[in-house]
Every structure is written in C-alpha cells, then in structure tokens.
Structure 1
Amino acid sequence: MTSEPVSPAVPFERNRWTFSVGTLGRDMVYALVSLYLIVFITEVLNASDTFVWWAGWLILGARLFDAVMDIVMGSIVDNTRSRWGHYKPWITIGAVASAVCTLLLFTDLGLPDTQYVAAFALLYLFWGLTWTMNDIPYWALLPALTLDQKQRERIGALTKIFATIGLFSVVVAIIPVTGALGGDTRAWFLFTAAVVTIMLAGQVVTLVGVREPRLAAEQPKVTLRGLWRVVTGNDQLLWTAVAMVLFMTGYVTTTSFGVYFFKYAYRDEGMYTPFGAVLGIAQLTGFLVFPLFRRRFSRRALYTGATAMVVAGYLVFFFSPMNMIWIGAAGLLLFIGQSFIVVLMLVFLTDCIEYGHWKLRRRNAAVTFALQPFINKVGAALGTQIVSVVVVLSGINSAATPDDVSAEGLLMMKVAMLVLPLILIVAGYLVYRAKYRIDEARYSQIVAELAARGELTDDHR
C-alpha cells in the first residue's frame, strides 16, 4: 500500500485490473441503497404514506448536503500527506464505515414512525458521509494512474464493466434471493450483508494491487478560498457537471421505477429479474465494444450516436404494448447508448483535471474529480425524490394490489419514468455540445504545455 512510481515490475495492466475490480462490490452497495432503499421502505417495511413522504425529502436533503461535502472531502484528500499516498487511507476508512452504515439502513429498527424518521435521517446522513470518504479518493485515484487519454479510456471501460456486473447482479438477484429467504426484513439484511462483504473484498484488491505513479510535482495544500477557485475557475468542469447531473437524474429516475413498473403496470413482478439481466448484458456489451468504436469515431460522434439510441429507446418503451419483446428492445437501445455516455462523461471529467491544472496553475485531482460522486449523488437524490413523490401521489404506495392503482396513477408513473428522463438526458447532451471544448487535439496541447512549463514529472510519459 505504498505510494510509489509505476515501474516495469508494476505494469499498467496490473493497475488497470486491480483498480477496476474494486468497483464490483462498490456498485453493488450503491445500487442497493440508491435503487432499493425506497423499495425496502415501501414494499418490505410497508411504511405509511407519511413516512414515505418524509423519508423521500430526508433522502433528498441528505444527498444534497453530502454532495456539497464531496467537494470538501476532495480538498481533504488533496491535502493528505501519508506514506500510503493521498488516496488509500481514506479509501480504507470509508469502505469499513460505509459498510456498517449500509447494514443498519436495511435493518428493521422496530420504532414508531416519528422516531424512525429521525433515526432514518441520521443513519442515511452518516451513510452518505462515510460513503464520501471512500468514493472521492477512489475515483480520484483513476486519473492519478495515467495522463494518456487512451489508457484512461481503457481503465474507464474496464471499470464500468465491473461496475455494471456489480450493479446488475443486485438488480437480477435481489427479488428472487430475498424472496427465497422469506422476503422479510431478515432476508433483506442477509442480502445486504453479502453485498457488503463483496465490497470489502474488492476494496482490498484495489488497496493491495494498485501502485500510484507520481505524475506531477507535489502541490501546496488547498485553502477554503483556493477550493472555491478550483471549482468555479474551471469552466469546463462546471459545464461537464451540469450535463452529467441532467443525464444522471434521468437515468436514475428510470431505473428506480423498475420494480414498480413491473409490479403495477406490467403486473408480473417476476419479469423484473429477466429484464434486469437483459439490461445488464446490454450495458456490458456497450462497455466491451466502446474501445472498438472509439478507434474509428471521435468522442463527439459517439456521444451523438449514443444519445440518438437512448432517445429511440425511450420512444419505443413509452409507446410499446405490455409485451417483453418491445420492452426488451427498448431496454437494449437505452442501456447500450447509456453505457457509451457513462464512459464518455467519465473521461470528460478526467480531462478537466489537466485543463484546471493548465488554467489555474495548480493540480487538484481529488477536488476536481469530486464532481463525479457529487453528480451521482445529486442525480440519485433528485431521481429518488421523483419516485417517492410519484408513488404517493399516484396511489401506488397505498395500493394493496396492482388492481387498486388507477389508470391515471399508472400514466403518472409512466410519464415520470420515461418522458421526464428523456427531456433531461437530451438537455444534458445539448449542454455538452454547446459548452464542452476539450477535444482530443486540445487535450494534447494542454498536456504538452504543462510539460513545457515543468509542471509534470517523467512518470507522466
């Protein structure tokens, strides 16, 4: 776990694989909390409308507060000086602490609504803060491994493959596994314990396996005033963040409605698992073929094509009959296109580190890359809040059976699941086209100028 330059004994491929493996369990935990905590509350605990209403707003507030704390955590990581480097101490502390908080979130505390709301608020806030301790340094480690755009894309694609396996293993397994275990709170706790164990094992692989090169000269510690300048002075970072928040809000909103759609609209909750498997395969396929398409097309062309696929997928889904052939085809379009956009936005964000270094004359990788989890949390917060409000207003939460949900309630869910996300994702693409300026040629020029200024080390080559 020492921070040392990459040498021939520690090749790029080792860093690439050991870093990527760490996302497997992390994304299992994140999927469990971001997609299924609200399902656990409404379908397993059978919480009242009042509790669901307040829980939704508490989740929104906690995530937005935690998203702001991401930036602060980024500065803490950048200011960290240890024998293990900037990142690994916080990755370790955050992994263990967030594992404990995740287990507590999926535990029936046996409290009355009023007390449970207060306890839930504190637990969720602690979960967000401890997750931040792990999330910020983990993702900041990626751009610290190389300055080469192609290598970053290779790491990003492999990372997202493992992340997708983790995410969709939860999507596919959670209903049948918890059902086989009894479907009660104990079953969900056991499932959560297994997921948390996998996360901790993956983090050990990253901590032991990754060797961090020294890409740039050591930077002075960032102050609060400097922190503000790092974020607001990087215009490309801010526009990337806007585009990503719009995309992630749309994406999380759609996926969070999955269980409700198949239970109340499709009327066969059992089909959620095979549908999730199809989407997982689609997303994995997208990550696997991304490097092949990248050899022939520019990033801008790939983003345009991927957005067109996503738009087509939403339109097919909205107008399709309740038939798995049509719904499955829509899912393939949506998630193959989405996989390309996820990788592209990840590398857009990494390139903003060098842009900020070039423009502001200081390198703050963790602060800059803190925008990634910030974006994910804001998107997840808004998406979850949309779901919690809609399941109450549509009558879904209070419905004893699918037959008790009105046609108007189902239409409300369908619009929130498919129309609103489509608008948000297209808006994110338009922001990117209008404002993002770091293409391949511009990035090469930025790195060359940083090297000429003596602000990079020999390890960056």
Structure 2
Amino acid sequence: MKQTTDQSTQGQTGQSEGGRTGIGRRLCYAVGNLGQAAFYNALSTYFVVYVTSAMFSGVDKALAAKLIGIITGLIVVIRIAEIFIDPLLGNLIDNTTTRFGRFRPWQVIGGCTSALLLMLVYTGLFGLVNVSETWFVILFVIVFIVLDVLYSLRDISYWGMIPALSEDSHERSVYTALGSFTGSIGYNGITVVVIPIVTYFSYVFTGSRAESQSGWTSFGIIVGLLGIITALTVAFGTKENESALRAKAQKNGNPLQAFAALAKNDQLLWVALSYLLYAIANVATTGVLLYLFKFVLGQPAAFSIAGIIPIITGLIATPLYPVLNRYIPRRYLYIAGMVFMIAGYLTFIVGAQNLTMVIVALVLFYIPGTFIQMTAILSLTDSIEYGQLKTGSRNEAVTLSVRPMLDKIAGAFSNGIVGFIAVAAGMVGTATADDMTAANIRTFKMFAFYTPLALIVASLLVFVFTVKIDETMHAKIVEELEAKLADGETEDEEE
C-alpha cells in the first residue's frame, strides 16, 4: 500500500469511524495507559527498590547483598533479552484471529495475568528465600520472565491497537495524545503515592511506619488491581474496526529486519544512539531519586515531590511543544532541553543535601523531558522517508519499534545501576540517613549524577554533530521521493 495514494481514502473512512468512536471509546482507551504506565514504573523502578530494601530484610546481611546482586543482574539480562522477543510477540498479535479482534484479547490475557504475577513478586514469592535460596532464584527467574513477556503483550497490543481503532490520521493522533497524557499521570503518580502507600500499610500490619514486606506487598496488590481494571476497560470499552486494510496480518518487525534497518539508515542510527544515551542517563537518575530523599536528604516523606514536579511540567510542556515548534526548529528545542538537563545535574551535584536545591534541580531535570523525547520520536519518524529514499524500501514498523526497544535497553541498565548504587553506597536493608558516611554520599553522587551527566553531554554531542535530519531536510526528502515514485524509479515494499 502506498501512503501517497491512499490518504484520501483513509480520511473518508476515518471520518465515519470518528463519528462511531465517540468520547466513551476514547476515554476507555486512555484509561488503559493509566494503569499500564503505573505498572511499568512499579516493575522497572520500584521493584528494584523493594528488592534492595525489604525483600531480604530477614536474611543475613552478606547473603542479602549477594542475592540482591543476583536478582538485579538477572533482571538486567531478562530485560535485554526481551528486546529480541518483542518483535516475535508483535507477529503473534498481528496473526491473532478472534471474534473480539487481534488486540483486545491480549489486553485481557497479558494485562490480567501480568498483574497477578506482579502481586506475586511483590510478596517475595511468599518468603521462599527463607526456605530455599536455590529454589527462590530458579522460580524468580521463571516468574519474572513470564511476567515480562505478558506485560509486553499488553504494551504492544495497546499501542498497536490505534490503527485498528481508526484509519483517520487525526483520530489516531487523538488516541496517541490521550494515551501519552494518562501514561504520564500513571507513571509519575506512582512516584507520588509509593511511599505513602508503603508506610501506611507497614504501619497497619506492623505498627511501625518503617518500610516493611507487608507495606511493599500491599503496594504491589494495589498496582496489580489497577492494572487489571484498566486492561479490562480497554478490552471491553473499545472496538476494533474491520476494514479491507486490516484483512491481512502484516508479518514484519523480526529482529533481523530491525538490525538491518538500523544498519542501512544512518540517520536513524545516530538519532537512536543520541536518544539511548539520554534514556540511560534519565532512568538511572530517576531510579535512585528515592535513595536521594531517603539516605542523602533524610526526608523520605518528601519524596512525593519527585512525582508531582514531572506531572506539572508534563502538563505544561506537552501542549507547549507544538506551539514553540511553529517558531523554533525542533533541533534547537532538543539542544535547549539538553542544556536544561545539564544545569539540573550540576544543581544536583552541588545541592544534593539541600531540599530547596534538589527541588530546583528536579524542575530543571524534568522540564526538557517532553521536548527531548518528542524531538527524538519525530526525528525517528522522519527517518522512515530518509531510509526509503536511500534504500528503496519503506520499513515503518521496524523503524517505529526502535524507540520502545531503546527504552527497554535503558530500563534494563537502570535496574542494574539502581541495584549497584544501593549496594555500593550502603543503602540497603535497614540502613538510614544517619548511617551514611561522606564516602557513601560520594559514591552515590558519582553514579547517580556525575556518570549520567557525562552521558547527557555525549548525547548532545552525537545529536549536534551527526543528526542532520530536520523539518527542512525531511520536506526535501518527501518531495524527491514523491517525484521518484511518480516516475516509477522506486517502489514501496509494502505493496
């Protein structure tokens, strides 16, 4: 199918679909990512915090440190392996044929089952480590792999559902914006409520407000229930539209195709590298903010600030980006965002032990996130036409799968980094801010701020000196590509 020849048809079809879709279907779809993003944050960030603080609280300190290293290392390996599994899961979803559609069944299967398994891992597998360390590690690996795969099925089917809900490009953008908006609330909302939930239920079950196994288990159950409710809302509150364009499942996006697209498309490769460096730095820092408030500032109750600030900045920056981009090329918005982040890291470094300075650093750190991420997404999208002009083939699915893959790579590194920092800086078990030495604080700052700062600078340099694709270049590429397609000089391989 050639995009240039079907736009009018899609617009007409989408218009009628838009009338049938209604506000209710949009809201049901949006609610899905509220629970999905909360689930992801609980799994990718706070599960490691739970592992390092409460999972092995009743175990010998030396053994606990060993088990923390094993578990965090296994999580990193599993998350990296998932990168190669995701395209296969996409093929599975694309080839699913049921009377309920391709995508909605996986919201039920993936969403509900992964939520139950999340609750299970937040129980510490019901204390199995106290019975047998070997069986604990074996069963943990099995459960976590199944949990990760099922979550991926929910995630892939959720975003893959958008073309099935409407063929109209405007309507699709509405669904994308709504999902991104609620996702921001769900992801950052978890940061706001995690400590209140854990401390409240710890008090209910133990009589102490210190973080406990029961508090973290309650947190896992709450997030799991939210995941189930929101997955079912998508499954039963939306409906996939049937059309000739969806009659045949597309089999694309396997690992070999993904690597081939990266190798042939130099602009995609450079944008991906710049974004990956940013993403690793970003998740490495956000993953240890709880440790900053708990062990460096000694004010864990103030940690909700770290969730409130990104919610507010996201609500402001998301609608502001397209307005600014009318007058400022996105290249300069990206560079400005990186400068803000560098300023934020420098503020963290000099003021990590002062709450006011930390708040200023958080604002500087979170303000540019939307600008950087949206510029990266648009640059990756524009590289589709660049690759088509360069190679003669159009790899939309493979190209657009790159950013989620990069986020998962960054998330895998984050899991390992958080666990390493916690152990290296002595921020494990029952340790408190009073136990921290100057050496502990220096170790924390080295890996939480100095190293990510170096990655941000590297990301900026890669973008400035290697990424050439921008609005002007893309317009010229499209013009040249349309001319070649009209002359029959190249073909779209999707035909």
Would you call these one fold, judging by a TM-score over 0.5? yes
Matched, 1:202 2:222: no
* CA shift digits 1:406-445 (9 cap, x unpaired): 2111111012111111111222232233333432244445
Instruction: Report the Cα distance in structure 1 between the residues aligned to 2:255 and 2:174, rounded to whole angstroms.
Output: 34
Q: Distance in 1 between matches of 2:22 and 2:331?
A: 27
Q: 1:236 to 1:102 in 2, by over 3 A?
A: farther
Q: Find the counterpart in structure 2 of residue 174 from structure 1.
A: 194
Task: Decide whether the 8 Å contact of 1:252 with 1:380 is kept in 2.
Answer: yes
Structure 1 residues 326 and 402: alpha-carbon distance in aligned structure 2, compared to 1, 3 A threshold: closer
CA change 1:281–1:83 in 2 (3 A) is: same
1:188 aligned to 190, 211, 216, which one?
216
Q: Amino acid of the residue matched to residue 117 of structure 1?
A: V
Counterpart for residue 8 of structure 1: 16
Structure 2 Cα separation of the partners of residues 89 and 359 of structure 1: 39
In the alignment of these two chains, the number of paired residues is 454
Separation (CA, whole Å) in 1 of partners of 2:124 and 2:138? 14
Question: Structure 2 residue aligned with 1:57, among 46, 50, 73?
Answer: 73
Structure 1 residues 279 and 433: alpha-carbon distance in aligned structure 2, compared to 1, 3 A threshold: same
CA offsets, 1:335-387, max 9 Å, x none? 01122212222333334445455555555544333322221111011122112
Q: Does 1:114 align with 2:97?
A: no
- Residue equivalent to 2:149: 129
Q: Say whether residues 1:308 and 2:350 are aligned partners.
A: no
Q: Is the CA contact (8 Å cut-off) linking 2:38 and 2:190 kept in structure 1? A: yes
Q: Deviations over 1:132-167 (max 9, x none)?
A: 22223433455886796x988776554433222111
Residue 80 of structure 1: how far off its partner (Å): 5.7
Root mean square deviation, CA, Å: 3.5
Name the counterpart of 1:102.
Answer: 118
- DSSP-derived class of the 1:164 partner: helix
2:279 is aligned with 1:248: yes
Q: Contact (CA 8 Å) 2:53, 2:429: kept in 1 or not?
A: no
Any residues of structure 2 matched to 1:202-241 within 5 Å, and which?
Answer: 202-207=230-235, 208-209=237-238, 221-222=251-252, 226=257, 228-241=259-272
Tell me: higher relative CO, structure 1 or 2? Use CA pairs within 8 A at least 6 residues apart: 1
- Aligned mate of 2:418, from 387, 393, 397: 387
Name which of structure 1's ranges 190-199 and 54-63 shifts more when overlaid on structure 2: 190-199
Q: 1:295 to 1:106 in 2, by over 3 A?
A: same
One-letter identity of the residue aligned with 1:50:
K
Q: Which residue of 1 aligns with 2:375?
A: 344
For 2:343, the aligned partner's letter is A
Q: 1:193 to 1:318 in 2, by over 3 A?
A: same
> What is the distance in 2 between the residues matched to 1:277 and 1:352?
35
* Equivalent residue, structure 2, for 1:25: 35
Give TM-score, length-normalised by structure 2: 0.80
1:42 offset after TM fit, Å? 1.9
C-alpha distance in 2, partners of 1:301/1:152? 27
List runs of 5+ in structure 2 lacking aligned partners: 1-9, 203-210
- Distance between the aligned counterparts of 1:69 and 1:224, measured in 2? 8
Contact (CA 8 Å) 2:93, 2:157: kept in 1 or not? yes
Residue in structure 1 matched with residue 52 of structure 2 by the alignment: 42
C-alpha deviation, 1:210, in angstroms: 6.7
- Report the equivalent of 2:439: 408
1:330 aligns with 2:373: no
For residues 195-227 of structure 1, the C-alpha deviation after alignment (integer angstroms, 9 at most, x for no partner) is: 233334434454544766888996864477656
Contact 1:35 1:256 in 2 (8 A): yes
AA aligned to 1:325 is T
Moved more, 191-200 or 256-265: 191-200
What SS class does the counterpart of residue 400 from structure 1 fall into?
coil
Partner of 2:293: 262
Aligned mates of 2:289, 2:360 — CA distance in 1 = 16
Instruction: Give the direction of change, closer, same or farther, for the CA distance of 1:220–1:335 in structure 2 (3 Å limit).
Output: closer
Classify the secondary structure of the residue corresponding to 1:166: helix
1-structure distance, mates of 2:95, 2:477 = 24
What one-letter code is carried by the residue in structure 1 that aligns with 2:117?
C
Which moves more between the two structures, 194-203 or 11-20?
11-20
Note the alpha carbon deviations across 1:176-195, whole angstroms, 9 max, x for none.
Answer: 11211125433333332332
Q: How does 1:447-458 map to 2 (within 5 A)?
A: 449=481, 452=486
- Please state how far the C-alpha of 1:322 moved relative to its aligned partner: 2.7
* Letter in structure 1 aligned against 2:196: P
1:78 touches 1:367 (CA, 8 Å); kept in 2? no
Conserved? CA contact 1:26–1:166, under 8 Å = yes
Residues in 2 aligned to 1:298 and 1:16: alpha-carbon distance in whole angstroms: 31
- Mapped to 1, the partners of 2:261 and 2:105 lie a distance apart of 23
- Aligned counterparts of 2:239 and 2:476: Cα–Cα separation in 1: 29
CA distance in 2, matches of 1:446, 1:333: 35
CA distance in 2, matches of 1:282, 1:74: 33
Pick which of 210-219 and 5-14 moved more: 210-219
Q: Closer, same or farther in 2 for the Cα pair 1:334/1:224, shift >3 Å?
A: closer
Q: Sort the Cα spacing of 1:247 and 1:25 in 2 relative to 1 into closer, same or farther, 3 A.
A: same
Q: Is the 8 A contact 1:22 1:205 kept in 2?
A: yes
Distance 1:404 1:357 in 2: 58
- CA separation in 1, counterparts of 2:184 and 2:213? 26
User: Secondary structure of 1:322's partner?
Assistant: coil
Give 3-state SS (helix, strand or coil) of 2:123's partner: coil
Partner of 2:18, secondary structure, is coil
Counterpart in the other structure of 2:322 = 291
Pair 303,255 (structure 1): closer, same or farther in 2 beyond 3 Å: same
Is the contact made by 1:18 and 1:205 (CA closer than 8 Å) also made in structure 2?
yes
1:316: how far off? Answer: 1.3
* Equivalent in the alignment of 1:67: 83
Shift of 1:79: 5.6
User: Match of 1:199, as an amino acid?
Assistant: G
